[in-house]
């Protein structure tokens, strides 16, 4: 099993390209199931989760044409992939394909909308909380679907082969459920209003793609999204937005190690809350024509509290990285997680570096220490994995990060990008 070896202590300098957002690419790929015509996506990241969803879509009958897959083909630019779902050959998403990635469950909305039926295995993915699919199921039922759960599968059918629009209100904000219901509603009969919808840029990216495909959608970027169903959608071409989580991750790495890095292609508008907190810690952040520049000198890292909440607030997917940064602060910072109930699994691993962290329910109190020391650590989930990399970059001595398949799910060529900016980091195979 691959590992990452880091020798800490180097500042980061140079340009670091930001990849397309995984959390946008996955629902955009699934949207290809809604039309018989080709859907072309630009700036698709080369990630394990993208490859897995490609397999799932091919199982449903989607043909793929990929440019930029091979090494050496513009490695620091995303892939261009055309998805052609002229015929859906199978409306079942089996356990062996769905079990490893939660977002694969989202095919249920698109399949149900287009084919009037779907059989999808209950999802898997990172063990960072319960994340039930109740919201998805309740939403589809409010659109008229008949749902049965049998043997670990969700069996869904639409009366007379077509869903019916109507009001859908989520009891709690859910990005995944917003994706699913928005896709399902595009081909439903009548008008659907999603209340308590997610406002994330990735939801807006999907909605704008669906509009380009002929969907009638209003209210993107607000808590109420309205969709007027149409008879069919057509092909389109859409760019995957830059990954705001990757952007925030590398910004925090620079803030921790020191240096001067241009995050090329980053969109600062998608990260206003965490960037504001990062500036308070002492980093200098400036918007430039081709990205976002992060500069940090040798001065102290200020301890600043952070509350994790839904967009546009501080994102949960940056919580672990921020906690790593605070381990070297000049005081004590409190990080409060309000999204997932089990997202402090990285704390024990950070403490192997010598971090001083006390967990109290959904709060973590991080007391800065003068020095972190390299250690053998183990990745626990996708985002927590990269917090260990950040700590290793700033730690004295050698760090080995094990179980890095989590990293490959969400960070494209991480070690290549960091090494080009001066980090001493390498992948060890086997």
Residues 422 and 14: their CA atoms lie apart, in Å, by: 8
Catalytic position from the list 92, 126, 209, 421: 126
Which residue ranges make up the annotated binding site for UDP-N-acetyl-alpha-D-glucosamine? 102, 317, 339
Please classify residue 398 by burial: count the beta carbons closer than 10 Å to its beta carbon, then call 0-12 exposed, 13-18 middle and 19+ buried.
Answer: middle
Query: Where are the strands (E) in 198-352, listed by range?
Result: 216-218, 224-228, 236-239, 259-264, 284-288, 291-296, 306-308, 332-337
Which residue ranges make up the annotated binding site for phosphoenolpyruvate? 22-23
Residues 420 and 90: their CA atoms lie apart, in Å, by: 44
**Helix, coil or strand: residue 285:** strand
Sheet containing strand 398-402, edge to edge, reads: 376-378, 398-402, 3-7, 424-428
Which letter, b or e, does each residue of 48-70 get, where b requires 16 or more Cβ atoms within 10 Å of its Cβ? bbbebbbebbebbebeeeeebee
Q: How are beta strands 191-195 and 167-169 bridged, if at all?
A: parallel
C-beta of residue 247 within 8 angstroms of C-beta of residue 271: yes
Please classify residue 115 by burial: count the beta carbons closer than 10 Å to its beta carbon, then call 0-12 exposed, 13-18 middle and 19+ buried.
Answer: middle
Which residue ranges make up the annotated binding site? 22-23, 102, 317, 339
Find the radius of gyration of the CA atoms of the chain: 22
Tokens of 358: 């006390």
Q: Is 209 a catalytic residue?
A: no
What string of DSSP letters covers 175-204? HHHHHHHHHHHHTSBSEEEEES----HHHH
| Phi, psi (rounded to 5 degrees) for 68 | 95, 15
* Residues belonging to the active site: 126
């Amino acid at each position: 099993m691959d590992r990452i070896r880091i020798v800490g202590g180097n500042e980061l300098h140079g340009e670091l390209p930001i990849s397309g957002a995984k959390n946008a690419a996955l629902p955009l790929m699934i949207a290809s199931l809604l039309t018989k015509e080709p859907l072309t996506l630009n700036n698709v990241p080369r990630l394990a989760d993208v490859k897995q969803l490609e397999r799932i879509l091919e199982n449903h009958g989607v043909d793929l044409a990929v440019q930029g897959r091979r090494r050496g083909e513009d490695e620091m630019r995303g892939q261009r992939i055309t998805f052609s779902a002229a015929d859906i050959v199978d409306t079942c998403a089996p356990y062996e394909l769905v079990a490893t990635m939660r977002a694969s469950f989202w095919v249920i909305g698109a399949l149900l909308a287009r084919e009037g039926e779907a059989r999808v295995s209950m999802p898997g993915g990172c063990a960072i909380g319960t994340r039930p699919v109740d919201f998805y199921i309740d939403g589809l039922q409010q659109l008229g679907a008949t749902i049965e759960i049998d043997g670990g599968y969700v069996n869904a059918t639409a009366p007379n082969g077509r869903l019916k629009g109507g009001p859908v209100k989520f009891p709690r904000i859910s990005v995944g459920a917003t994706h699913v219901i928005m896709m399902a509603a595009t081909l439903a009969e009548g008008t659907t209003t999603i209340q308590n919808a997610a406002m994330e840029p990735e939801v807006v990216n999907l909605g704008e793609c669906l509009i380009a495909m002929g969907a009638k959608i209003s209210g993107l970027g607000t808590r109420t999204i309205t969709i007027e169903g149409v008879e069919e959608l057509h092909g389109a071409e859409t760019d995957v937005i830059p990954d705001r989580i990757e952007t925030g991750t590398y910004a925090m790495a620079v803030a921790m190690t020191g240096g001067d890095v241009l995050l090329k292609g980053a969109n600062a508008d998608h990260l206003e809350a965490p960037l504001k907190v990062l500036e308070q810690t002492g980093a200098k952040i400036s918007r430039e024509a081709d990205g976002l520049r992060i500069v940090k000198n040798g001065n102290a890292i200020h301890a600043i509290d952070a509350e994790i909440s839904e967009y546009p607030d501080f994102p949960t997917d940056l919580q672990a990285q921020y906690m790593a940064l605070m381990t070297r602060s000049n005081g004590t910072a409190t990080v409060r997680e309000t999204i997932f109930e089990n997202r402090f699994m990285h704390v024990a691993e950070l403490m192997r570096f010598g971090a001083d962290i006390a967990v109290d329910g959904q709060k973590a109190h991080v007391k800065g220490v003068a020095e972190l020391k390299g250690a053998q650590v183990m990745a626990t989930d996708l985002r927590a994995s990269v917090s260990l990399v950040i700590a290793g970059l700033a730690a004295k001595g050698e760090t080995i990060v094990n179980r890095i398949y989590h990293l490959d799910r969400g960070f494209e060529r991480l070690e290549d990008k960091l090494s080009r900016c001066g980090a001493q980091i390498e992948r060890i195979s086997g």
